[in-house]
Amino acid sequence: MKIVVTGANGQLGQDIVKLLEARHEVHGLTREQLDITNEDQCLEVIQRLKPEVVIHSAAYTAVDLAETNEADAFRVNSDGTRNLAIAAESIGAKFVYISTDYVFDGMATQSYSENDPTNPQSVYGKSKRAGELHVQAISSRYFIVRTSWVYGAYGKNFVKTMLELAKTRDSLKVVSDQFGSPTYTVDLALFLKKLIDTDRYGIYHASNSGVCSWYDFACAIFEESGITMNVEPCTTEEFPRPAPRPRNSAMEHEAIRVNGFEDLRAWREGLKAFLKELEEA
């Protein structure tokens, strides 16, 4: 199968390319090779390569920066997604759009299912939701995959930040009133690999199983790494950020179950595997 992956230099993109190129012809495209905000270029590149699947993992992900750079966030996450969806549809390719828990407001008392109403509160969340709407309107063969709290071997993430801070500090305050599911990029890439082999189109929630707070996640990182660290819980108000974070971004994996896929492993198991990968690297 011929597959195009956008954002091939990104945290998730690199793992997708690495996993899929063992069995498929993969064209991992970076920002330099494809400007997704250029509609003509999207059409030219996709029509020339003629992939059967386009996995769109390129995104404007600077959540706080997006609050003051709204035009840039929408140009990439909304317009760029529309351009790629048009290009993929023009050759009848399957289209996979990586979306986010930020499309929800985080006020629910239970986990969000795929059909729950969206209500993004941040510019980032609004721009990603706009991308989802373009995909639904344009593509006849789409998978929208919402994920959360992503970390992996490439790029910056919460796990690496915690391990870095542990080198210079012996105590930390971490937010304990925001809940979600950490997601290891390798586990997400493995799910995408299974997904693109099917025609079970629609919206999916895909994160490692189980729910924790950022505080719980930090404690687990240090425990699994054998690092002694005094971690103190704190509130969101004690750690203000420009962009509002969903208090609850736990997601129900209904579509995974209904469509007969195996769920992603427990978040703590994913964390152990990642720490092992870091150690070996």
Angstrom distance (rounded) from CA 209 to CA 65: 29
SS3 63: helix
Q: Residue 122 is encoded by which pair of tokens?
A: 């941040």
* H/E segment holding residue 5: strand 2-6
Does the active-site annotation cover 124? yes
Which entry of 60, 102, 124, 204 is annotated as an active-site residue?
Answer: 124
Cβ atoms of residues 209 and 263 within 8 Å = yes
Q: How far apart are CA 83 and CA 111, in angstroms?
A: 32
If DSSP codes are grouped into helix, strand and coil, which group holds residue 126? helix
Q: What is the DSSP string of 210-231?
A: S-EEHHHHHHHHHHHHT---EE
Angle between helical axes of 11-20 and 185-195 (0-180°, round to 10): 50
Residue matched to tokens 């290891």: 184
Q: Which residue has the tokens 């969903």?
A: 246
Catalytic center residues: 124
